[in-house]
Amino acid sequence: MNRTNYTDIQDDDAADAARAADEQAESGEIDAHDAELAAEDATPLKAVHRFDDTIEAYDATQCRDDIRDGDVLVVESEKVVGLLVEAWPIAITEVSGEFHGLTAPVGEFKDGRYIASAERAIKLAGELGFPVRQSAQTA
């Protein structure tokens, strides 16, 4: 099974789990808040891609089908961690290399659509000891 199919299956599983939580809430088995939490837990994690430098990473985001919107990008040699926002790699670290820099608080950026990806990227940056931009902080 290739990676794309696996990702599609993960997405289907997440949708099925979210639907099941909604049905439980409608039937009164669980409350709406618990249903919302269950749906969030069912969302699959975005992939993490590692590269030798930010030029290679940027180029890969433009032509590789396995790198998708919201995926996390790590370039240890340049101390850069970011995420793919539509077609653009955006750095959440203070150092951005060839990536674009995050210009708005992550909670407000694109209506908060990238918060989960940013949280994962921030965690990885912290594990690697890379300073994170103030605008990327989610809490």
pLDDT of residue 10: 42
d(CA 49, CA 18): 27
Give the domain ranges of the chain: 3-42, 48-136
State the pLDDT at residue 107: 83
Report pLDDT for 3: 32
Q: pLDDT of 40-52, one tens digit each?
A: 555 567 899 999 9
Question: Do residues 72 and 46 touch, judged by C-beta distance below 8 A?
Answer: yes
> Which residues on adjacent β-strands are paired with residue 85?
88
In this prediction, residue 121 carries a pLDDT of 94
Q: For each successive 10 residues of the chain (139 residues), what is the average pLDDT? A: 34 55 64 57 76 98 96 98 96 97 85 91 96 79
CA gap 104, 50 in Å, rounded: 25
Q: What is the pLDDT of residue 34?
A: 61
Quote the pLDDT of residue 20.
Answer: 61
pLDDT of res. 37: 54
Q: How far apart are CA 4 and CA 63, in angstroms?
A: 15
Give me the pLDDT at residue 2, please: 31
74 bridge partner residues: 50, 81
pTM confidence score: 0.69
Distance of alpha carbon 47 from alpha carbon 136, whole angstroms: 19
